[in-house]
C-alpha cells in the first residue's frame, strides 16, 4: 500500500519499528503491574532502541515517509506517557511531573496536528529530541528498581521536564511569532 503522493510503501522497516514500539506498551504495563519490573525494564530498553533505530534506518536508507513523520513521535509519546502514568501510580514519579510532561505532549501534538491539516510540518527540535532521550533513560533507571538507579532516574526525569517545558515554549513561540512582511516596514 502506498500513499497517494509517496513513492515508498507505507510499511517500511522504520514504520514497522514504530508499530512494534506501540505493541510493546501493553506488555510493559502488564509486567509493571505484575511486579516484574526487570522484564518491563528489558522491554522498555528494546522499545527505546527501536526509537533510535527507526530514525537511523529511515535516514540511512532513504526510507522516510509522511506516515513515519507522524507515527514516530506518536509512538514515543504513547510509550513514555503510558509508562510514566503507570510509574506514577506506583509512586515512583511525582504526579505533578507526569501531569506536566503528558499535558505538554497533548499541547504540542495538538498544534502539530492542526498545522499538518494546513500542510505545514513542524519538525522536532533538538531540545524535544533530548527531552525524549532523557525520558527514556530516566524511565529505564526507574524500572531497574535499584535505589541508586531510581534516584538517578528521578534527577534525569526532572532534567527531562526542564527540556520539555523549554522546547514547548520554543514551539509555541515559533508558531505564534508574527510573520515578517517583505515590504521593509
Q: Specify the pLDDT at position 128.
A: 84
Domains along the sequence of the chain with CATH: 13-176 (1.20.120.1760)
**Helix, strand, coil share (%) of the chain residues, nearest 5:** 75, 0, 25
Q: Where does residue 185 rank: exposed (0-12), middle (13-18), buried (19+ CB within 10 A)?
A: exposed
Reported as a single tens digit per residue, the pLDDT across 50-103 is 988 998 999 999 998 888 888 888 999 999 999 999 999 999 999 999 999 999
Q: What is the DSSP string of 118-160?
A: TT---PPPHHHHHHHHHHHHHHHHHHHT-HHHHHHHHHHHHHH
Q: Do 73 and 109 touch, CB atoms closer than 8 A? A: yes
Any idea which residue has 526507574 for its cell? 142
DSSP state of 167: H
Q: Specify the pLDDT at position 180.
A: 63
Report angle CA 73, 114, 53 to the nearest 5 degrees.
15
Strand partners, 84: none
Residues 127, 166: Cα–Cα separation, whole Å = 7
Supply 18's cell numbers: 514504530
Tell me phi and psi for residue 2, to 5 degrees.
-125, 150
Other beta carbons within 10 Å of 146: 11
Supply 35's cell numbers: 511486579
Reported as a single tens digit per residue, the pLDDT across 13-65 is 999 999 999 999 999 999 999 999 999 999 999 999 998 899 899 999 999 88
Reported as a single tens digit per residue, the pLDDT across 129-176 is 899 899 999 999 999 999 999 999 999 999 999 999 999 998 888 777
Amino acid at each position: 500500500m502506498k500513499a497517494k503522493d509517496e513513492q515508498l510503501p507505507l510499511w517500511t522497516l522504520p514504520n514497522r519499528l514504530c508499530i512494534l514500539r506501540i505493541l510493546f506498551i501493553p506488555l510493559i504495563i502488564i509486567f509493571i503491574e505484575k511486579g516484574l519490573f526487570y522484564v518491563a525494564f528489558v522491554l522498555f530498553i528494546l522499545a527505546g532502541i527501536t526509537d533510535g533505530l527507526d530514525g537511523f534506518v529511515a535516514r540511512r536508507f532513504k526510507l522516510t515517509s509522511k506516515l513515519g513523520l507522524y507515527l514516530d513521535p506518536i509512538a514515543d509519546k504513547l510509550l513514555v506517557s503510558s509508562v510514566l502514568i503507570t510509574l506514577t501510580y506506583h509512586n515512583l514519579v511525582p504526579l505533578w511531573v507526569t501531569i506536566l510532561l503528558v499535558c505538554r505532549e497533548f499541547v504540542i501534538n495538538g498544534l502539530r496536528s492542526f498545522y499538518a491539516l494546513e500542510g505545514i510540518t513542524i519538525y522536532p527540535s533538538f531540545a524535544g529530541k533530548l527531552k525524549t532521550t532523557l525520558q527514556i533513560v530516566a524511565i529505564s533507571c526507574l524500572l531497574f528498581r535499584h535505589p541508586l538507579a531510581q534516584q538517578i532516574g528521578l534527577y534525569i526525569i526532572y532534567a527531562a521536564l526542564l527540556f520539555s517545558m523549554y522546547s514547548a515554549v520554543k514551539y509555541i513561540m515559533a508558531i505564534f511569532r508574527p510573520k515578517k512582511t517583505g515590504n521593509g516596514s
